[in-house]
Amino acid sequence: MSLNGFLEFFHQGRTFRPKKRFTSGTIRYSLHKQAQASLQSGINLRQVVRLPEGEILNDWLAVHVVDFFNRINLIYGTVSEYCNDATCPTMSGGSRYEYLWVDGTLYKKPTALPAKKYIELLMEWIETQINNEAVFPVSSDVPFPKTYPGLTRKILTRLFRVFVHVYIHHFDRIVSIGAEAHVNACYKHFYYFVQEFELISTKELEPLHDMTSRICKD
C-alpha cells in the first residue's frame, strides 16, 4: 500500500486514548511536519527515520515518541473491544512471552495483569511522561533531563509490547477490517526507528523476530 494511504489511516478512526498534538510554532511541531512530509514523499522508511542534518537528537526522539504513541493508540483502539479479561487474561505474546506491569507507585512490584489493563496503565503512564514538561520540555530554552534517553528507551520498549500482543493475539481482527498493510507500515516505521538509534534490546525484539525478517526487507 502507499505511504499516503498509511498516513490517511492514522489520521482517522478511534484511538484507545486521545491523541497528543504538538504546539504550532515550536521546534517539535516543525520536526513533526518535516517527518510527515518525508513519509508522504515516498522516501524509503530507513531514510525517513534518520536524524535530519543540524537537528538535535532528543527533539527527534520526542517527536517520534509522541507520533508512535498516537499511532499505536489507534492500532490498539481497533482491537480493544476484542481484548478483555476473558480473551486476554494476561499481557502476553503467545505462550513464551508474558509482560508484568510495574510503575513504582501503584504497582511497586512486577504484577501480572490482563492485557487490556496493562495497556491502559501503559498509555496513561506514557501520557503522564509526555505531559511532564520537566521530562519532555516544550521550550528549547529548557534542557532535556539526563534521564531522558533511558526514559525514551523504556517508553518505546513498552510500546513494542503492544505490537507483540496485537500481532500475536489480535491480528485476525486487523486483517478483517482491511488494516493489515497500515499496521505493517507503522510497525516497519517503528522498527527502523528503534534500530537506527538502538533504542530496544535484541532480546525485547525477539517475539516478532520471524515476522520482522519477512516484512522489513527494504
Binding positions: 83, 88, 165, 170
Count Cβ atoms within 10 A of the Cβ of residue 194 and give its class: 0-12 exposed, 13-18 middle, 19 or more buried: buried
* Residue from 37, 30, 77, 73 nearest 55 by CA: 30
Measured between alpha carbons, how far is 185 from 195 in angstroms, rounded to an integer? 15
> Which residue is it, cell 515476522?
211
Q: Residues annotated in the binding site for Zn(2+), as ranges?
A: 83, 88, 165, 170
> How far is CA 70 from each of CA 18, 52, 83, 214, rounded to the nearest angstrom?
8, 22, 19, 25
What's the Cα-to-Cα distance from 151 to each of 42, 83, 105, rounded to whole Å? 31, 27, 16
Round to whole Å and give the CA distance between 216 and 28.
28
User: CB-hemisphere CA count at 13 Å for 45?
Assistant: 20
The percent helix, strand, coil of the chain (3-state, each to 5) is: 55, 0, 40
